[in-house]
Structure 1
């Protein structure tokens, strides 16, 4: 797979951009909430884990702890929304242009 990735790459910039984007995280849908709560002063990770579990997160304490560890000495920056999933993009491409509305083109987490 690695050889195929480099063989099919158009430019070096495409490879670098893909590696910087990283893999999707289980926390992508909850990062804006975690950033907001962290910056408002709630730095109790156990409390934050309970809150996002109530919102539907199925991850564990260690995932949240590892993510929030980087903000231990500073405020969390505003979270960047996760990129659209492949299935959403495919749905946009396959839909007839006349059937696309403003609400149907939005991605909901």
Structure 2
């Protein structure tokens, strides 16, 4: 809070003394020079003293403090012409993990623009799409080692941690990417048994649980 505002509240004797015109509703003495100042900031001129001298020569009669306060806000504020819309992390992830033929033209263009603007994102997107291709296509196990070597040298701790998990169970991963067999038929009964176990947890002994597993369809 500005010290003058605090002083106004401290010295007020009645509530009516605090009610006055809204200062923000009055046009700023600097308003006629906003366009000129924004152009000068775009040109690379940021010195308060220089800008103050320039607008004084053009008829500005306000104080240096008003200009300084305005510059404190607008020096780092992007202009509408240069502001970039940043997609959410969820949307970028969806673009990366979705097969290319399922992306719209706009999605492909937006992903290409994001990858161009961020080299780290470009590297991670390439690795993620490479691993997704291994998973989607059968018989790709022989390419796993090449992908692991690329990922290890990428320099990202999260990816290196993922690679370490793959390498620790490499044979199983290669088999999963190569063999035509699927564990899907087993997952259904396993999930059914787990559901029954959770329902019976703490309520019955192992004999009753066994009977329910054997008799529940």
TM (normalized to structure 1)? 0.47
Larger Rg: 2
Structure 2 length-normalised TM: 0.25
Considering Cα pairs closer than 8 Å and 6+ residues apart, tell me whether 1 or 2 has the greater RCO: 1
